[in-house]
């Protein structure tokens, strides 16, 4: 028996199926859902700006210079160097032989109703006077409580109470694609608002902090202003732009507010920021180096220089070591290690896991305080010798005892000539070769013997020192 249904019967049967715990969705409806947009409409920033705008301030700085010094040329050089700060014109005369010159214009924002203001360190650098102007036209002379060049964060204090302030957000919870706005004074146009999205959360453009990348328009004068999420929370300090012209080219960077507040707390308490140091210079580990050393995937950082007498040197870390972890935290990129070490307490003991000659080992390092960069000891250059090139195209010779003592090495050979595959890889006369595939180089005879036994179809990793930098160079032997 064949049963037919009318349109009404079909609706009834669908209802009966639903009542039985089943639901049938026509294919056409499913197709419509699959093609439905995930984002509809455009955000409206008006209420957000009304709420947060009053806490954003304009910052002008002045500097007293001797008559005839400073001026537009110096200011333009500073502008090109930092891409921020707009040079001004003389604002009047100070003491005889001096004049007060407007150094630049920037932005900032209030984080407490008793007058604490955050901005960039480069906005107030070299200023003799800092003036803060609110949206209601009130103007205050601000005191610089402290500025940290490495993070580009500065803390100011104005003598006022019951000021509007911003809520500090959590920059670790940012998501790529999230809408954000920037408020500041580009080209001295106060309280200008631009909007965009987060492009990347941890862009490695600084030694001690990962910057937030966005496509929010940021121009000279925006520097030091807030980057704000859709909840009205400040999640970054606009700090840098990527540009060839000095103006906005679609990429801007902000200091994450989490990092900025950690720096600001130290600046408020002591006027400076203390960071830990190990005393090493590091570089990225390439895929080729990782495979040659038996690491598998590219990870960690290679030690290219160890400061003589520094914490790492005393602990036994050597040039050529691959640092894999710091206090148990994996090191994936070269920027990870300075941040972790910098955040360590002075005098604390850190466990550093290194890869050395095919094995892992833990080394305990006593963390010291970071000071000014110390220059390394340059390697001595040597004239070209008469040795014949080996299979890699390298002609090498032994180091004298005096050279080993000067260079603080126990072995190694110096490159007298570089041709073929070695030259193509960038090796040149004067380089010092310390290791071949995790094997220490003792002298020229041993080095050439190792090279002669290499598989010509496999790459070889050489630990090469050039002047005060040491790094792995990967060479494919000539076939």
Active site (catalytic) residues: 122, 152, 223
Task: Confirm if 118 and 132 have CB atoms less than 8 A apart.
Answer: no
Where in 35-184 does DSSP place strands (E)?
Answer: 56-66, 90-93, 98-110, 116-119, 129-133, 139-148, 153-157, 167-168, 179-184
Instruction: Pull the structure tokens for residue 394.
Output: 């390298």
Q: For residues 217 and 247, what is the distance between their CA atoms, to the nearest angstrom?
A: 9
Task: Confirm if 431 and 409 have CB atoms less than 8 A apart.
Answer: no
Residue 410 gets the label, from left (phi > 0), alpha (psi -120 to 50) or beta, of alpha
Q: What is the DSSP string of 192-211?
A: EEEEEEEEEEEE--SSS-PE
Q: For residues 204 and 212, what is the distance between their CA atoms, to the nearest angstrom?
A: 9
Of 392, 363, 401, 411, residue with least CA distance to 459 = 392
Of 454, 424, 425, residue with least CA distance to 437 = 454
Q: What is the DSSP string of 6-57?
A: -HHHHHHHHHHHHHTT-----HHHHHHHHTS-SS-S----HHHHHHHGGGEE
Q: For residues 415 and 398, what is the distance between their CA atoms, to the nearest angstrom?
A: 9
Of 229, 238, 213, residue with least CA distance to 152 = 238
Q: For residues 468 and 266, what is the distance between their CA atoms, to the nearest angstrom?
A: 33
Instruction: Pull the structure tokens for residue 399.
Output: 């180091």
The secondary structure of residue 275, as a DSSP letter, is: -
Task: Confirm if 229 and 197 have CB atoms less than 8 A apart.
Answer: no
Q: For residues 58 and 184, what is the distance between their CA atoms, to the nearest angstrom?
A: 7
Distance of CA 294 to the CA centre of its chain: 28
Of 305, 289, 306, residue with least CA distance to 297 = 289
In the block, residue with structure tokens 């419509």: 32
């Amino acid at each position: 028996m064949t049963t037919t249904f009318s349109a009404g019967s079909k609706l009834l049967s669908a209802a009966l199926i639903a009542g039985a715990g089943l639901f049938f969705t026509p294919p056409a409806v499913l197709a419509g859902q699959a093609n439905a947009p995930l984002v509809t409409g455009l955000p409206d920033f008006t209420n957000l700006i009304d709420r947060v705008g009053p806490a954003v301030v304009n910052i002008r700085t002045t500097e007293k210079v001797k008559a005839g010094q400073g001026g537009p040329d110096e200011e333009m050089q500073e502008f090109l160097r930092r891409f921020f700060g707009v040079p001004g014109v003389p604002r009047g005369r100070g003491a005889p032989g001096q004049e007060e010159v407007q150094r630049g214009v920037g932005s900032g924002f209030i984080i407490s109703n008793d007058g604490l203001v955050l901005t960039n360190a480069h906005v107030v650098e070299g200023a003799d006077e800092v003036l803060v102007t609110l949206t209601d036209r009130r103007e205050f002379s601000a005191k610089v409580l402290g500025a940290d060049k490495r993070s580009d964060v500065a803390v100011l204090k104005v003598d006022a109470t019951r000021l509007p302030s911003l809520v500090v957000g959590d920059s670790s919870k940012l998501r790529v694609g999230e809408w954000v706005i920037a408020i500041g004074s580009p080209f001295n146009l106060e309280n200008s608002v631009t909007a965009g999205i987060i492009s990347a959360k941890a862009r490695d453009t600084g030694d001690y902090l990962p910057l937030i990348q966005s496509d929010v328009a940021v121009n000279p004068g925006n520097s030091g202003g807030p980057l704000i999420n859709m909840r009205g929370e400040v999640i970054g300090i606009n700090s840098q732009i990527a540009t060839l012209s000095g103006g906005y080219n679609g990429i801007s960077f902000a200091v994450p507010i989490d990092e900025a507040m950690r720096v600001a707390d130290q600046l408020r308490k002591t006027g400076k920021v203390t960071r830990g140091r190990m005393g090493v210079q590091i570089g990225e580990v390439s895929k080729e180096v990782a495979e040659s050393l038996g690491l598998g995937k590219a990870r960690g950082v290679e030690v290219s220089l160890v400061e003589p007498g520094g914490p790492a040197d005393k602990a036994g870390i050597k040039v050529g070591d691959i640092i894999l972890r710091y206090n148990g935290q994996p090191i994936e990129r070269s920027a990870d290690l300075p941040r972790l070490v910098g955040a360590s307490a002075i005098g604390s003991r850190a466990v550093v896991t290194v890869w050395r000659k095919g094995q892992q080992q833990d080394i305990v390092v006593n963390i010291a305080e970071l000071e000014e960069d110390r220059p390394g000891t340059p390697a001595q250059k040597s004239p070209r010798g008469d040795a014949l090139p080996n299979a890699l195209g390298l002609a090498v010779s032994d180091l004298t005892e005096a050279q080993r003592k000067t260079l603080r090495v126990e072995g190694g050979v110096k490159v007298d000539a570089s041709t073929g595959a070695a030259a193509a890889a960038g090796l040149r006369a004067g380089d010092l070769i310390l290791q071949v595939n995790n094997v220490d180089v003792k002298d020229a005879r041993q080095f050439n013997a190792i090279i002669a036994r290499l598989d010509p179809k496999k790459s070889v990793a050489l630990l090469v020192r050039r002047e005060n930098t040491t790094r792995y160079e990967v060479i494919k032997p000539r076939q």
